[in-house]
Amino acid sequence: MSEKPDEILTLFSKSEELLEMFRKGRAFTEELMAENERLRYRIVQLEKEKMDLSGTLMREVERLRLENGQMSQKLDFLDGRFHEIEAENKDFAQRYVEVEEQNENLANLYVASYQLHSTLDPGEVVQCIKEILMNLIGSEEFGLFVVDEETSELVLAGWEGEIAARLDRGRVAFGEGLEGIVALKGDPFFTEDAGERGEVCACIPLKIKERVVGVIAIYKLLPHKGRLSALDHQLLELLAGHAATALVSSKLYATADRKLKTIEGFMSLLRVK
């Protein structure tokens, strides 16, 4: 009989323990369920956050794509501008070279015309024209003809090369040969290339207004010169005007000076008598 209460007590104790265990299990289960609830809520929150972030990200991507497109357009525009400016720059550099070249030619023309008009001696004027043709134009063989109005012929006044040997008495009749035709018509003649020996590559009339007073014929250029440029043509035509004036004025001065000296000599003779 005494064993029964002990057993009962043990049973109670065990059932208490079991109960306690169930209670703990229940609490733990409740805790788990609460945690589960919390986690589910958190998942919903995170899902929502994810959706929000995804929307933001998409919007950001779209914005960046748009920006990228705009930047690409800008880059294309800048690239185009850069090429335009580069081309403009090249054009300006080319124009600078041209202006510099023209400047040089103007300086050449200035010095040449200054020298041409610095003397009243016909011989010095002819020498000056020769120097210009050799040093500034680059002529190797040329002839400077002046008009003999009495015979209507061109007379060779200065030359370089073999032209004198080729001409009969150093004269060319008006209308004969290229020199004569140029003198008759009064228009300059240029060929594209430097001619072979004896072939005219430039022939320019020396004119005072419409009156032809001479002709410059270039037969051959210096080997390294190659050809006459458009600027050479201009320079030659401008120089021709100055050369014509210088030649005529020096000739007139020489004639007048000679006459004056004759008259002075005559007068002094009269005074002596």
Partner 1 sequence: MSTKSLLVVDDSTTFRQLLCMSLVRLDGITEDNITQAFDGADALKKVQSGQFDLVLTDIKMPNMDGLEFVNKVRNELNRKDLPIIIISTKGAEDDIERGMQMGANGYLSKPISMSQLRELVTTLLGH
What does each C-alpha distance from 201 to 139, 188, 192, 198 come to in angstroms? 10, 11, 7, 9
Give the tokens for residue 168.
């009969």
8 Å CB contact between 125 and 246: yes
Question: Where on the chain is the footprint of partner 1 (CB under 8 A)?
Answer: 100, 104, 107-108, 110-112, 114-115, 128, 131-132, 134-138, 140, 222-225
Shortest Å distance, C-beta 242 to partner 1: 12
The phi-psi region of residue 169 (left if phi > 0; otherwise alpha if psi is between -120 and 50; otherwise beta) is left
Give the integer Cα–Cα distance in Å for 160 and 135: 12
- Closer to partner 1 by Cβ: residue 225 or 251: 225
CA 170 to chain centroid, in Å, comes to 46
Shortest Å distance, C-beta 95 to partner 1: 15
Residue 214: Cβ-neighbour burial (10 angstroms; 0-12, 13-18, 19+):
buried
- Closer to partner 1 by Cβ: residue 13 or 118: 118
Shortest Å distance, C-beta 104 to partner 1: 5
Give the integer Cα–Cα distance in Å for 38 and 9: 42
CA 168 to chain centroid, in Å, comes to 49
- Closer to partner 1 by Cβ: residue 27 or 111: 111
Shortest Å distance, C-beta 227 to partner 1: 13
- Closer to partner 1 by Cβ: residue 179 or 232: 232
Shortest Å distance, C-beta 196 to partner 1: 18
- Closer to partner 1 by Cβ: residue 105 or 155: 105
What does each C-alpha distance from 83 to 20, 87, 96, 269 come to in angstroms? 89, 6, 19, 85
Which alpha helices (DSSP H) does the chain contain, by range? 3-116, 122-131, 163-166, 177-185, 230-272
Shortest Å distance, C-beta 237 to partner 1: 17
- Closer to partner 1 by Cβ: residue 84 or 104: 104
Shortest Å distance, C-beta 136 to partner 1: 5
- Closer to partner 1 by Cβ: residue 103 or 255: 103
